[in-house]
Amino acid sequence: MQKKLVQSSLAISAAAALGLSGALVASPAMADKAPQKLDVQSEAHVQKALSGIEGVNAYGTEGGELSIGVAEKTDEIKKLEEQYQNIKVTEGIKELKPYAKNDLVGGAGYLVKAGEGGGACSTGFSGWDGDGKPVVLTAGHCSKIINEETNEFDGDTTVDQTEKPSISQANGGEGFQASGNGVIGKWGFANFGGDLLEGADQSEWPKPSESDIDFAVINVDESKYNVKNGITDWSTADSDDLSKSTTEITEVGEHKDGAISKSGRTTGKTEGKVLPRSEYDFDYQNVGGRWVHGFGVTAPIDKPFSQPGDSGGGVYQGNTAVGVISGGGDLDANTSFTWVADLDHSLEESGTDFNLEKPGEETPEAPAAPKAEDQTIEPEGKVKGKAEAGAKVEVKWEAAEGEKGTQAKPQAENGSETVTADKDGNFSVEGPKAEGDYNFTATAIVDGQESKTTEFDVTVEKDESETPAPVEREISVDPKEIAASDFVKEDKGVTITVKGFDEGEKVNLEVANGPEGVEGIKLDETANENGAAAFSIYGTSAENPEAYLGKYDVEVTGANDTEDESALTGTFEVVADEDGSGGGSGGDDDGNNDDGNADGGSGDGNDDDGNGDGGSDLPRTGAELTGLAAGSGLLLVGGTAVVLTMRRKNNN
């Protein structure tokens, strides 16, 4: 952690230097829009390129490349990337604030006033409450004036200043000297154990309760102190700034068996071991005459885990805060013993909303890594993958190396592109033009946070297989001539079969022309997996078949037709039967002497006596002939049945 903070401090200095160059004029755009190479050896050139660019929080040069760190890529930063080929931009680098001696971290000492006297305790953990106000967690007994003879409470203490670290006992001094930074703040929630355990008869003592916690909150005066995440290791006490070297605390959690650490103003940073339940099977300990919920920690007698004055100090395992120091003593001649008030339990019982990051300023979680499989594409084909919806996805590629470390395709070019995943999380980039094998990586970026990088391989090769010639479109009419008596039979009629369309394409049939008085009909069908469709046409007026006599023209088009494609056309004719039934006048009668009886459908119906009119009633249409076998031996699905509606001419 020390190393990271030093690097960050250097980055701040560099960023501050950039601010001095704000008056410089940005270089004019070159006529050649190809990315230029920035002379990173020249500080003047670097300053000129970055002048007027906001949001640069870190930068450095190495190997002929300028690296800059930003919280997020703005349009200005993106243009800068496009302008220079040797600029590398890293997102998620935030502006840092310089350390200050009034930064308040866990493990520091603080003073309290108790009437005419006073004392010292240790801070546990710094953070913010649910309203974003700075707070410090510590031990509840530090808030009480305790009568040393009776253990009764004689009142509450008053929070005073932090203790000067350089002369604290943890740094070899005598301690109890104020830092001069001002009063930390005031007590918020505070509780030390339950009722007093009085009398020699322990059977009369009050029973322990879940609410018996040794826990307190200090509401920090933010005009005097800045709370900072982390717990000090006391290595920077000589500088009186304990925030310079800390262990980051990322969560509050339950303690576990094994190694454990503490930081406090008396013994500094110490190590111990959690006393397992198999050896100390208790949840409550008598601390100062009161039950306190928690757990035990042991350490060698000559290297105690805690001593008086460490009360309230932060106890942690790794990056997890687990408790604050409550009390201690000797377990035996070789072992020191410390009772720790467990933090997760204390927060729950006190109802304290504690946050290690200021609400509203939390670092977003890193997005999930993109998903992309190894794939083979044609030159400049699409390389595809999936990521979080709306995420920026940075895709990079380079030609795979051959067995001897050389690129298999010398003409292959490395590249990168940043795209945005759509609402379903799909993203794609145009692949390389040169054939060969490539190593690809994809990284998702959301709110400045980068995911883990996904690696996958892409092979670019031309598809040498021949593209099958498109099936020519054809139309088949069966039969082309049909007797009227057959035309009105449901299982006969005329079948129009077409092929050469796309699977699933909507195919439209229109009876464009027919005998005089026949209303045009349009029907839709969907091409099957073979690109074929079929329609069946028949009449429903079996008692008056001569109404359908005549020639019919049909046209078939597809929804995917281009301007160069013309409609398929065909014809069929309904003729009189050989025995003369349905012959009528063949549809040529002008209807002038019509007496109203059916005569082939050509009358005008002016003197109609109400008898049949050649099928003018519109019968139902639809899938009467579903499963009809079409011409060319194709079995069609959902063949559409069509009926013709005949009308007499209206000469009025």
One-letter-per-residue 3-state SS of 194-205: CCCCCCCCHHHC
Q: Which of 62, 91, 120 is the last residue of a domain?
A: 91
Secondary structure class of 551 (helix, strand, coil): strand
Q: What is the pLDDT of residues 592-647, one digit of tens each?
A: 334 433 333 333 333 433 333 333 222 222 222 222 233 222 222 234 444 444 33
Residue 76's Cβ-side half-sphere holds a number of Cα atoms within 13 Å equal to 13
Residue 154: both structure tokens together:
């004689």
Lowest mean pLDDT among 324-338, 434-448, 458-472: 458-472
> Which pLDDT score is estimated for 491?
80
The verdict on residue 651 lying in a domain is: no
> Which pLDDT score is estimated for 374?
96
CA angle 345, 349, 352 (to 5 degrees): 95
Do 175 and 69 lie in a common domain? Answer: no
Report residue 244: phi and psi, to 5°: -70, -25
> Which pLDDT score is estimated for 29?
31
The yes-or-no verdict on residue 190 having pLDDT over 50 is yes
Do 449 and 546 lie in a common domain? Answer: no
- Is the backbone peptide bond immediately before 379 cis, with ω within 30 degrees of 0? no
Confidence of residue 172 (pLDDT cuts 50, 70, 90): very high
Q: CB neighbours of 23 closer than 8 A, spacing ≥ 6? A: 51
Do 209 and 112 lie in a common domain? Answer: yes
CB 386 within 8 A of CB 441: no
Helices (H), 436-553: 484-487
According to DSSP, the β-strands at 506-513 and 474-478 are unpaired
> Which pLDDT score is estimated for 563?
84
Q: What is the pLDDT of residues 210-230, one digit of tens each?
A: 999 999 999 999 999 999 999
Confidence of residue 342 (pLDDT cuts 50, 70, 90): very high
> Which pLDDT score is estimated for 11?
29
Do 107 and 87 lie in a common domain? Answer: no
The yes-or-no verdict on residue 90 having pLDDT over 60 is yes
The verdict on residue 428 lying in a domain is: yes
> Which pLDDT score is estimated for 468?
65
Q: Determine the residue type at 353.
A: D
How many domains, in total, are found in the chain? 4
> Which pLDDT score is estimated for 579?
54
Mean pLDDT of 313-324: 98
Distance, CA of 511 to CA of 496 (rounded, Å):
11
Residue 542: both structure tokens together:
């079996």
User: In percent, how much of the chain has pLDDT > 70?
Assistant: 79
Q: Which of 402, 431, 465 is the last residue of a domain?
A: 465
The verdict on residue 455 lying in a domain is: yes
Residue 627: both structure tokens together:
């499963």
Q: Which of 91, 120, 155 is the last residue of a domain?
A: 91
The H or E element that residue 19 is part of is helix 2-19
> Comparing C-alpha atoms, which of 539, 550, 504, 548 is closest to residue 524?
504
The verdict on residue 173 lying in a domain is: yes
Do 588 and 638 lie in a common domain? Answer: yes
The yes-or-no verdict on residue 12 having pLDDT over 70 is no
Angstrom distances, CA of residue 247 to CA of 9, 269, 366, 491, 595: 17, 11, 21, 88, 110
The yes-or-no verdict on residue 176 having pLDDT over 90 is yes
Mean per-residue pLDDT over the chain, rounded? 80
Find the domain containing 47 and state its range: 2-91
Residue 384: both structure tokens together:
């595809």
Confidence of residue 77 (pLDDT cuts 50, 70, 90): confident
Do 329 and 188 lie in a common domain? Answer: yes
Is pLDDT larger for residue 497 or for residue 644? 497
CB atoms within 10 A of CB 392: 22
Lowest mean pLDDT among 182-191, 249-258, 547-556: 547-556
**How far is C-alpha 444 from the chain's CA centre?**
9
**Read out DSSP for 454-467?**
EEEEEEE----SPP
Do 244 and 323 lie in a common domain? Answer: yes
Is pLDDT larger for residue 440 or for residue 10? 440
In 74-224, which ranges are E strands?
A: 87-91, 103-106, 109-114, 117-122, 125-128, 134-138, 144-146, 153-156, 158-163, 178-183, 185-192, 214-220
Question: Exposed (0-12), middle (13-18) or buried (19+): which is 196, by Cβ within 10 Å?
Answer: middle
**How far is C-alpha 118 from the chain's CA centre?**
53
Do 460 and 483 lie in a common domain? Answer: no
The verdict on residue 421 lying in a domain is: yes
Sign of CA dihedral 54, 56, 61, 62: negative
Residue 413: both structure tokens together:
């070019």
The yes-or-no verdict on residue 117 having pLDDT over 90 is no
Mean pLDDT of 171-198: 95
The yes-or-no verdict on residue 95 having pLDDT over 80 is no
Confidence of residue 402 (pLDDT cuts 50, 70, 90): low
Residue 86: both structure tokens together:
């040797």
> Which pLDDT score is estimated for 650?
35
Lowest mean pLDDT among 237-246, 327-336, 600-609: 600-609
CB 419 within 8 A of CB 372: no
Do 59 and 179 lie in a common domain? Answer: no
> Which pLDDT score is estimated for 518?
59
Q: What is the pLDDT of residues 513-570, one digit of tens each?
A: 777 665 667 888 999 988 999 988 887 777 888 888 888 888 999 998 888 888 999 9
Residue 26: both structure tokens together:
């940005």
Write the DSSP symbol of residue 58: E
Write the DSSP symbol of residue 634: P
> Which pLDDT score is estimated for 225?
95
Distance, CA of 301 to CA of 2 (rounded, Å):
30
CB atoms within 10 A of CB 209: 14
Confidence of residue 362 (pLDDT cuts 50, 70, 90): low
Do 505 and 585 lie in a common domain? Answer: yes
The verdict on residue 220 lying in a domain is: yes
Lowest mean pLDDT among 72-86, 226-240, 266-280, 514-528: 514-528
List the CATH number of the domain containing 613: 2.60.40.1930
Do 340 and 452 lie in a common domain? Answer: no
According to DSSP, the β-strands at 494-499 and 246-247 are unpaired
Confidence of residue 471 (pLDDT cuts 50, 70, 90): confident
Residue 446's Cβ-side half-sphere holds a number of Cα atoms within 13 Å equal to 18
Do 489 and 543 lie in a common domain? Answer: yes
> Which pLDDT score is estimated for 61?
77
Q: CB neighbours of 342 closer than 8 A, spacing ≥ 6? A: 254, 255, 293, 294, 295, 322, 323
Question: Exposed (0-12), middle (13-18) or buried (19+): which is 283, by Cβ within 10 Å?
Answer: middle
